[in-house]
Amino acid sequence: MTATFADYAAQQDARNTIQLNVTKWTLMLCDALRQNYIDYSIKSHKRCLERGESIDYNNSRITDLKNGECDYEFIIESGRKYHKIIMVIDNGPNRMGPSRSVHAFVDKKTGEVYKSSSWKSPAKGVRYDLRIIEQREWLLQNADWASSYLYAR
Output the pLDDT for position 94.
64
Do the Cβ atoms of 115 and 103 come closer than 8 Å?
no
Q: Can you give the pTM of this predicted structure?
A: 0.87
pLDDT above 70 coverage of the chain, percent = 93
Output the pLDDT for position 93.
67
Task: Specify burial of residue 66 (Cβ count, 10 A radius: 0-12, 13-18, 19+).
Answer: exposed
Give the mean model confidence (pLDDT) for residues 24-35. Answer: 96
Output the pLDDT for position 136.
95
Please determine, for residue 114, whether its predicted confidence score (pLDDT) is greater than 60.
yes
